[in-house]
Amino acid sequence: MVSNGSNPIIGLTTYAERAQTGVWDTDFALLPFNYVDAVSRAGGVPVLLPPVENGVEEAVAALDGLVISGGADIDPAAYDQPPHPATTGTRPGRDGWEMRLLERALDRDLPVLGVCRGAQVLNVALGGSLHQHLPDVVGNDTHRPEPAVFGTIRVRLAEGSLAARVLGTDGKVPCYHHQALDRIAPALDVSGWADDGTVEAVELPTHRFVLGVQWHPEQDSGDPRLFEALVAAALRTASRSEASGTDDSQEAP
């Protein structure tokens, strides 16, 4: 492992988008800096993982934990549905990259935090599906009030769940999503709900720390405890690897 045991290495998946800065108008690997800052403040070393064709094994071998970040809609072909008119801007290349990263991270029992789209990636990768346009289900835009404006919702977390052990069983969170989890992957447990019944948190009980939340804890108005818990779990990954004196990417799951 690359980690020194005191500052675990946390991978953050990124966008790949056309953007402008200064005199340049070109393709960039992008991620809102709030994610980077949240990991750094929690004691982790953030490393960006832009979507590329190869390198999953090498990337995951260098990590102590993984954040699958928010972003564009997942291509509905990934869960065998035709696209809804409101499903736009899909990035199949990013979908594939993140699902391969997730598969390898789960093989290694790395701590994983999925944020918004990241929770959806977790569900789809393990065999679940999505509501492609949540207002069709709940009848309002509470979860995404208007472009670039975060909503605030109350979430209820299942007592005894990983999410509740970190956050307690009730609270308000910032959200921005027009899609949500529909059919839940068989391996996942639902551990959080909005007042309207929308699934807001899922976790993988067979692993040490795998949690997907539909809200945005990286926001300034969010809660740092999820990132702190991820980094604490990642520190145990780093310590375990150093104690064994081996690269645990070669160990059996």
Decide if 52 contacts 80 (C-beta within 8 A). no
Query: Can 131 be counted among the known catalytic residues?
Result: no
List b or e across 16-35, with b for residues whose CB sees 16 or more CB atoms inside 10 angstroms. beeeeeeeeeeebeebbeeb
What type of residue sits at position 103?
E
Decide if 98 contacts 114 (C-beta within 8 A). no
Distance CA 139, CA 213 (A): 21
Catalytic residue (one of 131, 178, 207, 216): 216
Catalytic residue (one of 98, 200, 203, 218): 218
Catalytic residue (one of 57, 58, 116, 133): 116
Partners of 173 in the β-ladder: 153
Partners of 180 in the β-ladder: 131
Query: Can 251 be counted among the known catalytic residues?
Result: no
Query: Can 175 be counted among the known catalytic residues?
Result: no
Residue positions annotated with a catalytic role: 116, 216, 218
